[in-house]
């Protein structure tokens, strides 16, 4: 069964959620996992793309937006209704859980103090809980 982790951040700055997502992506990447970062739209996908280029000066994580050539890329970013292929980790930055979440070994959700983000996070939490998923929560 897919494991679900919620990361709870202080503050309401969207960039901080993206930086934490980048940190988790980096950790998973260096462990050899394949990662799909799911966003609400193309603009948010591009923001995450830029964040991955610049969040840590001493490292580089090869990645692609899903509409680019991504046949063998370990890290993909997109906002479509389905991922390109089976992957290990789903990092969900979208306001709703994607319907395909259960095909991943692990799902990471990021919630901060912004009222909209928090409300959407509560809905996702309830969604997973009602379906019997065990949920881990990490306060950052």
Tell me the HSE value of 133 on the side-chain side, using a 13 A CA sphere: 23
What are 112's strand-pairing partners? none
The CATH number linked to 15 is: 3.40.50.10110
pLDDT tier for residue 126 given thresholds of 50, 70 and 90: very high
What are 3's strand-pairing partners? 106
Domain enclosing residue 93, as ranges = 3-139
pLDDT value at position 81?
72
Mean local confidence (pLDDT), 11-17: 85
Domain count across the chain: 1
- Any residues with CB less than 8 A from the CB of 11 and at least 6 apart, and which? 112, 113
Q: Per the structure block, which two tokens stand in for 75?
A: 């890290």
Q: What is the DSSP letter of 81?
A: S
pLDDT tier for residue 70 given thresholds of 50, 70 and 90: low
Record the pTM: 0.92
Average per-residue pLDDT in the chain?
A: 90
Q: Is 13's pLDDT higher than 90?
A: no
Helix (H, G, I), strand (E, B) or coil at 49: helix
């Amino acid at each position: 069964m897919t494991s679900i982790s919620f990361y709870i951040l202080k503050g309401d700055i969207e960039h901080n959620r993206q930086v934490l997502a980048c940190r988790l992506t980096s950790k998973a990447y260096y462990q050899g996992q394949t990662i799909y970062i799911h966003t609400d739209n193309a603009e948010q996908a591009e923001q995450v793309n830029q964040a991955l280029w610049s969040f840590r000066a001493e490292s580089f994580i090869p990645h692609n937006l899903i509409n680019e050539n991504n046949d063998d890329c370990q890290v993909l970013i997109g906002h479509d209704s389905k991922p390109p292929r089976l992957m290990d980790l789903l990092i969900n930055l979208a306001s709703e859980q994607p319907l395909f979440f259960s095909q991943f070994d692990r799902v990471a959700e990021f919630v901060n103090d912004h009222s909209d983000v928090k409300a959407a996070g509560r809905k996702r939490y309830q969604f997973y809980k009602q379906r019997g998923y065990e949920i881990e929560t990490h306060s950052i």
